[in-house]
Structure 1
Amino acid sequence: MAVESPAQIVIVGAGPIGIEAALYARFLGYKVTVLESGEVGAHLRKCEHVRMFTPFSANCTKLGKSALAAQHPDLSLPLSDQFVTYGQYLEQYLQPLADSDLVVDCLKLRHTVLSVARSSQTKTENFGQPQRSETTLVTLAKDESGREHVFESDIVLDCSGVVGQPNFIGGGGSPAIGELAARPNFETGLIDSHGKDAKRYANQQILVIGAGHSAATNICQLSVLARETLETHVTWVTRECKADGQNGPVTVIEDDPLPQRKRVASEANQLLVEENGHLVHWPETTVKSMHYEPQNDQFHVTLEGKHTGIHTFNRIVANVGYRPNLEILQELQLDLCPNTEGTKSLIQPEPNFYILGSKSYGRDSSYLISDGLGQIRRVFAIIGDRENLDLYADPPSGSNQA
């Protein structure tokens, strides 16, 4: 059943997918409120120095570019085949889009969502029944002063992502002993070892945990810093040994359609072959416990596995992936994958509720922004009950449209 405009849509998250979804909805005539716990593109700002794995054309839309051309005719966008940094993408595309007339008045920044639920039905009521959609969706959020607000809507799109919810570093995925207390003092994202983080990591004993592309990116960054600051030493701990046919633990896809991703993975593995005394890899090893000493600004870490022992580090970088925050969705009827906690389908049992973007992939790290943009197109075709609705499509051949 179609939900016609001007119905009310609440969008959780003002990252790339949240902003693009707001633009799409406003263009179709829906009323929109975007709730964001920080600033626009908050997660992108933390890795603004890192080059994206995909070209600009894969991270923007025709609708977005048209909106910017109409409002900012002098704005110079990156070239379609250009691999920009997250900071450039934010500055040159996403932030101007958020500041455009169709989006800016929808934004409620520094509003942290606490829950999404039905106004008068709990999770246990009317599963799969038409009555489930007869009450409005209510989103409870807290502003920066601590005041709580309720936002009623016909539709909710959860585009909040996963970066704010890092996995735990214990061997089985649970917190290592002492991790919860120590977590505020170590990094779980991508560091800028030649910018804002240079002084913090130079000439330090650093523990890097993880074997994915985030860990590989940090290893590449820190290896350069280690060559420039001779007292910098990096210990790289992974549960895995060497990836099949590789010099290190990061899986390299030989026919990877994303050359930037392949380059980072290959470079990180190769650094272990070119070992120069500043980088050591400890495979088949996990963290059992840790204790942070604030007076000395250092960690005492107990490892188990192939390199069992107690070691002291000044810095820890834990890149073990992310998980979706499902706590805010406890009263909704969801169908989630049992191993990734991502969605099995774009359409959930909860009527008019959709999870878009990286959160829909759960713990699966293969998500790309282009995947989320495709979801936007599909979800509005569902909402409008118009299978061929596509605001991202090229104009028909011979059309006079710009």
Structure 2
Amino acid sequence: MSISELPVAVIGAGPIGLAAAAHLAERGLDFVVLESGPTTAAAIDEWRHVKLFSPWRYGIDSAARRLLEQAGGWTEPDPGALPTGGDLIDSYLAPLAKTPQLSDKIRYNAAVVAVTRVGFDRVRTAGREAAPFLVRLSDGSELLASAVMDAAGTWRRPNVLGGSGIPARGEQDAAANISRALPDVLGRDRDRFAGRRTAVVGAGHSAATTLLDLGELADQAPGTEVVWVVRGTDQARTYGGGDADELPARGALGSRLKKLVQSGRVELVSSFRIEAVAPTADGRVLLTSGEQQVVADTVVNSTGFRPDHDIVGELRLDLDSIMGSTRALAPLIDPNQHSCGTVPPHGVDELAHPEPGYYAVGAKSYGRAPTFLLATGYEQARSVVAALAGDWEAARDVQLDLPETGVCSSNLAYGSEADEAAGGCCGPAPQAVEVTSRGLSTGISGGLLNVVETKQSSCCG
């Protein structure tokens, strides 16, 4: 079998992975979707209780919509309604996965542990491009592919609590006292937080979401204490644009948090870079930053996420040393220079590596930049699939229409707080302004998955 007869391997059955599959199906290209979890969008299912602050009109890919409409029996959600993560799965992604074009192409419990070229390590060159990709799964099985679209996201790789980019001293030993971002404070995880003291670390939208939920829990359960730990000194980015935000739910998120802090119901500890994490004699955990200390029963890590490039370590990648994205994409998404809405349109050319046929799309493509949004990922998928189909004119006709806002989950970096902005979720992230291949303008389209808040909402890409 020639390499051209092999399927395209799509890693991940989340929003971007299934969008890629929809575009591949429309183009008539063979493909297989490899999902590490037991269900569609298993990562999102872990925060299904969270409400997005972007309405449905931004959450559905164009090719996916066409497949759903062709299949029949699908009712498109109210474009102005705010879905939860569970709604995104139940009303969109799960039905999409069941369409005739995709249903028999998705493999569940198929975690990818390595991607390489058959017979080639990273060093060997001669004949490399003619060799198919070899994809190895956690169960030891392998499959061959003509190309790889890596839409695995970053949810499984949270940043560390340590303020210098590496785990704080004792952090790994304190894992039992550390919760991942966006716990279901008012539902499934209530017993862990009710009547106890919780420290939320991070300054993005996922941190704001958890803090608001904890504030509500404190009203319901006596003895519930909440402390917000941040590295910076200015919380203007987290509080956001308020009434100036085009996405009202996102603006309300920051406004409500600011009031919660001003009321004293949330204790704000700023300029706190975690150096050490240690257990206390009574089973709690102690965070240390110089002479400062914070004690809590549970620490919620809302410091963001980072990509896992280890599985493609034998491929030839051109990664930016700072962002962890492609070198070409890095200056376009640098949170020190861009908010989500000022990220220029980009597609296959900016996502290409020296390894022909391998593309990271979605949140993973942004590396550590927290400026990703679904609308961007959908356009990435469309562009890459067009290129794989040989339609380079369509592949390079990249356009983005994003909602205007004055604030993004990362926004322009506020001094030392930039590293915490990734807590917006998915690289979660809000946005602004239509971007076309000819520059910036205004408008809306596509779909951005902003992370979220249980009652209001937040953002996530």
Give the TM-score, by structure 2 length.
Answer: 0.76
**Residue of 269, 272, 292 corresponding to 1:308:** 292
Percent pairwise identity: 28
Pairing of 1:239-254 with structure 2 (within 5 A): 239-243=231-235, 246=236, 250=238, 252-253=240-241
Classify the secondary structure of the residue corresponding to 1:102.
coil
CA contact (8 A) 1:5 1:28 kept: no
| Counterpart amino acid of residue 155 in structure 2 | V
How far apart in 2 are the matches of 1:213 and 1:37?
26
| Aligned residues of 2:178 and 2:301 also touching (Cα < 8 A) | yes
Post-superposition offset of 1:264: 1.4
Q: 2: distance between equivalents of 1:354 and 1:257? A: 32
Return the alpha-carbon distance in structure 1 between the equivalents of residues 70 and 231 of structure 2. Answer: 51
Matches within 5 A, 1:47-58: 47-58=47-58
User: Runs of at least 4 residues of structure 1 off by over 6 A?
Assistant: 390-393
Question: 2:277 matched to 1:285?
Answer: no
Q: Which residue of 1 aligns with 2:14?
A: 15
How far off is 1:185 after superposition?
Answer: 4.3
Q: Which amino acid aligns with 1:267?
A: R
Q: Is the 8 A contact 2:239 2:257 kept in 1?
A: no
What SS does the corresponding residue of 1:162 show, helix, strand or coil? coil
Any idea what SS the aligned residue of 1:122 has?
coil
* Greater per-residue strand proportion: 1
Q: Could you tell me which residue of structure 1 aligns to residue 223 of structure 2?
A: 231
The residue identity in structure 2 corresponding to 1:195 is G
Q: Deviations over 1:178-219 (max 9, x none)?
A: 212322542122122221122221101111111111111111
Paired residue for 2:338?
none
Q: Quickly say closer, same or farther: Cα 1:37–1:256, change in 2 above 3 A.
A: same
In 1: Cα distance, 2:318 partner to 2:246 partner: 31
The structure-2 alpha-carbon separation of the partners of 1:317 and 1:380, relative to structure 1 and needing over 3 Å to count, comes to same
Amino acid at match of 2:362: G
Match of 2:355 among 350, 363, 381: 350
Give me the whole-angstrom Cα distance separating, in 2, the residues matched to 1:17 and 1:366: 15
Q: Does 1:324 align with 2:307?
A: yes
Match of 1:191 among 159, 169, 183: 183
Q: Distance in 1 between matches of 2:53 and 2:318?
A: 30
- Contact 1:63–1:392 (8 Å) recurs in 2: no
Indicate the larger mover: 132-141 or 180-189.
180-189
TM-score, normalised to structure 1's length?
0.86
Residue 168 of structure 1 is matched in structure 2 by 160
Aligned to 1:103: 102
Structure-2 separation of matches of 1:15 and 1:195: 24
Q: Distance in 2 between matches of 1:250 and 1:232?
A: 23
Amino acid at match of 1:48: R
* Whole-Å separation in 2 of the counterparts to 1:371 and 1:65: 16
**2:140 corresponds to which letter in structure 1?**
E
How many Å separate the matches in 2 of 1:388 and 1:83? 35
C-alpha contact 2:11 2:150 (8 A) present in aligned 1: yes
Secondary structure of residue in 2 paired with 1:339: coil
**Which aligned pairs between 1:178-217 and structure 2 lie closer than 5 A?**
178-217=170-209
Distance across 2 between alignment mates of 1:381 and 1:63: 12
Say whether 1:134 aligns with 2:130: yes
**TM-superposed deviation, 1:151:** 1.1
Q: Which residue of 2 aligns with 1:371?
A: 376
Q: Measure, in 2, the Cα distance between the counterparts of 1:186 and 1:42.
A: 21
| Aligned equivalents of 1:366, 1:289: Cα separation in 2 | 29
Summarize deviations over 1:54-109 as a string: whole Å, max 9, x none: 22121112322222233242x33211222211111110010111122111211111
Aligned residues: 373
Q: Secondary structure at the residue paired with 2:10?
A: strand
One-letter amino acid of the counterpart of residue 320, structure 1: T
User: Is the Cα–Cα contact under 8 Å of residues 36 and 109 in structure 1 kept in the other structure?
Assistant: yes
Residue in 2 that maps onto 1:399: none
Cα contact 1:157–1:355 (8 A) shared by 2? yes
Shift of 1:387: 3.3
Give per-residue Cα distances to partners, 1:283-340, cap 9 Å, x unaligned.
00122222357x96x33213114x613x432111010010000110111111222222
What residue number does 2:320 align with? Answer: 337
Unaligned runs of 5+ in 1: 394-402
Which residue of the partner structure matches residue 258 of structure 1? 247
Output the CA distance in 2 between the equivalents of 1:346 and 1:388: 16
Aligned partner (choices 251, 258, 263) of residue 269 of structure 1: 258
